[in-house]
Amino acid sequence: MKNENQSFSRSLWISRGKSKVIQIIDQRFLPFREVVCDLNTPEDVIRAISNMQVRGAPLIGVTAAFGVYLTLLHFKDNPDREAHIEKTIRKIRQARPTAINLKTAVYLQLNAISGLSNYEKKIEVAFQTALKYMDTEIEACRKIGENGLPLIETLYNKNPSRPVRILTHCNAGWLATIEKGTALAPVYLAHEKNIPVHVWVDETRPRNQGTRLTAWELSQAGVSHSLITDNTGGFLMQQGKVDLVITGSDRTALNGDTANKIGTYLKALAAKDNGVPFFVALPSSSIDWSLENGDKIPIEKRDPDEVLFIEGLSASGKIEKIKIAPDKSMAENYGFDVTPGRLITGLITEKGLCKANRKGILKLFPEKSGL
Ligand code: MRU
């Protein structure tokens, strides 16, 4: 959806006047092309999530919530609809395994519609629930921005002669949520308030979400940033050139252990060794209340071709994939790693900041204590 400046600032929306069509920015084409894609059917949703046309834990959660609505619509006149619906919703839930947001969203929808006998009512409730969930996620990101801002302000006040230098990994901006982002929300707010910031953007191999998405977002917003290779962060920290690390989360366990894009753990280790504060910004939809620690978080493995090939814009202006490895080499492609809570300085949530441990999390979310 484009704003009055005709640039995108939102990753998913309902097609104008057509509640049956969900529109997304197809993130596979960024930063080279701005392609909007219609999601009309549950299959479109499943494909969009697994092919990473949409990605980022909060965004795939919201997409899944609309996926449940589209499923009910799609099978409305099917004589065997209950079986189809069950199977399809299971597929939506399993479209990507690591982010808990997918499951959070699907359970929310199932809870909302279970017990309703009128099918039309079910469809309407599923649509309203998805809209409400999307609004909750937008509001959570706005709050994360507000709650994280003092971290940046404090660092700036300590050293007002230069920008606050923030390192981030992967993309946890508005492309990964609906609006504003998680890790980038405090950065955008600081920028709006004229606090000088400079973002070190990890390229984030193999899919280069840093290079392709975070750098694009920051360029659009006019936020000063430099791309760095994935191996550079530790060196910059040793040089005293990183004031703060903020990343997102795909799933945080009750003890603060956090699964995020592969390579996050290495940044946390380097931050610990260099006394650099390492924060994880997340909405509560990314907390897995059923997991005491991160040992059982499923780690997505993706196609080895994502490692063996790289994609970019050719001299003739075409998006092309080229091979970068020997023909006989194999590759392993783990999508995420788990950073232990003990390496995380704190969590930035919609309810405020807390320590990355059970006590800290439950103090912010006491209603979850009895689960
Ligand atoms: O594989 P991706 O691009 O979906 O991975 C995304 C991340 O790792 C993000 O940091 C995470 O989902 C948080 S997004 C606010």
**What's the alpha-carbon Rg for the chain, to the nearest Å?**
20
Chain centroid offset of residue 203 CA: 16
Mean pLDDT score, 73-78: 97
CA distance 138 to 54: 16
Encoding tokens for residue 132? 């409400």
In sequence order, what are the residues at sequence separation of 6 or more whose Cβ sits closer than 8 angstroms to the Cβ of residue 269?
343
Q: Give yes or no: 250 in active site.
A: yes
Considering only CA atoms, which of 258, 312, 264, 306 is closest in space to residue 286? 258
Give yes or no for residue 58 CB within 6 A of ligand 1: yes
- SS3 (DSSP) at 310: strand
Mean pLDDT score, 307-335: 97
Confidence of residue 6 (pLDDT cuts 50, 70, 90): low
Beta bridge partners of 228: 202
| C-alpha 291 to ligand 1 mean position (Å) | 19
Q: Would the pLDDT of 7 be above 80?
A: no
pLDDT of amino acid 119: 97
Give yes or no for residue 260 CB within 6 A of ligand 1: yes
Task: Say how many CA atoms lie within 13 Å of 346 toward its Cβ.
Answer: 16
The overall pTM is greater than 0.75: yes
Considering only CA atoms, which of 227, 316, 313 is closest in space to residue 32? 313
Helical H runs in the chain?
42-50, 57-74, 81-93, 101-113, 119-158, 185-192, 209, 215-221, 233-238, 264-274, 305-308, 358-364
Confidence of residue 153 (pLDDT cuts 50, 70, 90): very high
Ligand 1 atom nearest to 209, measured from its CA: 3
| C-alpha 258 to ligand 1 mean position (Å) | 12
Which percentage of the chain shows pLDDT scores above 90?
Answer: 96
Give yes or no for residue 209 CB within 6 A of ligand 1: yes
pLDDT of amino acid 8: 82
What's the pLDDT tens digit per position in 190-228? 999 999 999 999 999 999 999 999 999 999 999 999 999
| C-alpha 112 to ligand 1 mean position (Å) | 27
Give yes or no for residue 56 CB within 6 A of ligand 1: yes
